[in-house]
Amino acid sequence: MSNLFYAYAKNINDDWSYRYLIVFATRAVADEWWRAVSTSTNLLYSNSIVRVTPQFYTHDPSRAVIAYSITDPSVAKQFLGKVIFTLLNDRDGRVFPVIESGPEPITDYISNTWFYIRSKVDKSIYWYRNDQDIVVASRTNSTRFLIRNTNHAFDGKVMINSDDITISLAAGKLSLSVADEGNLQAMRKAETFKFGDFVDGYSINGCGWISVDELPRTAIVKVNDNSGEAWELVMNGRVYDIVPPPPK
């Protein structure tokens, strides 16, 4: 399966010119490129390029052409080898490539949002906080977590792998921390994690699938050698075991 990620960019001033197909090396690269563009000190770019959805942008070519963001050293030149902009035919050219779409909607990784955490490989496996406040892997239950950038200036903004985050629950204002055994556990203190840890920083303690009550075999543990499994944030879970109020 390809890891390439696609998006469109549209001229905000008309319906026929400066339309682009953007190819990113990965979804993570797309989000990191957007962070560089949106926080650039070059206001011609940061004030005129808008991320409508993860796969749709608008730009104002009279101020800054979106394709030039990867050649302008004041914007996102570090992505020159990771992003491709292809200028599409004008509207009446009739040829318009349709980007790949997956079987499920793309979840936007926005800070200060409630998510379920699911295995990328086996989408039936979710993180679940049990009655002992230990986070375990479960095929039957799921818990919703609040993922938030520790820099609250980025609330409502896209999170990228290098961001420091906290993972919290609704009940009792608990947050996830690493217990002495390495397991993730809900505690009063909030530990800081990297958003990129979801790529390979968490594993399932043990092998095989057994009852979620047998904690040594199914607990979610933090690993520091990139040997963990790939996890993804989604908006839908197996069971709403906790229904938190919307974040203020």
Residue 97's φ and ψ, nearest 5 degrees, are -70, 140
* pTM for this model (two decimals): 0.84
Tell me what pLDDT residue 246 has: 41
* Residue pLDDT, tens place only, 36-53: 999 999 999 999 999 999
Among 195, 193, 115, 199, residue whose Cα is nearest residue 161: 195
- DSSP character at residue 183: B
192-219 burial code (b ≥16 CB/10 A, e <16): ebebbbbbebbbbbeeeeeebeebebbb
C-alpha 205: how far from chain center: 24
The span from the CA of 166 to the CA of 177, in Å, is: 9
The answer to whether 112 touches 195, Cβ cutoff 8 Å, is: no
| Residue that has been written with the tokens 């908006």 in this structure | 235
Domain ranges of the chain: 5-91, 113-234
Using pLDDT thresholds of 50, 70 and 90, give the confidence band for residue 211.
Answer: very low
- DSSP 8-state assignment for residue 69: G
Percentage with pLDDT > 90 across the chain: 70
Measure the CA–CA gap between 106 and 54, rounded to whole angstroms. 8
* Interacting residues of 126 by C-beta distance below 8 A, sequence separation 6+: 116, 117, 118, 119, 137, 138, 139, 141, 142, 143, 237, 238
The Cα angle at residue 28 between residues 74 and 31, in degrees rounded to 5:
50
Please tell me the distance from the alpha carbon of residue 74 to that of residue 1, in angstroms, as a whole number. Answer: 34
The predicted-structure confidence for 149-194, as pLDDT tens digits, reads as follows 999 999 999 999 999 999 999 765 899 999 988 899 999 988 999 9
In this prediction, residue 37 carries a pLDDT of 98
248 pLDDT more than 90: no
Which CATH class name applies to 113-234? mainly beta
pLDDT band at 217 (very low <50, low <70, confident <90, very high): low
Residues 69 and 169: their CA atoms lie apart, in Å, by 38
Identify the band that residue 102 occupies on the pLDDT scale cut at 50, 70 and 90.
low
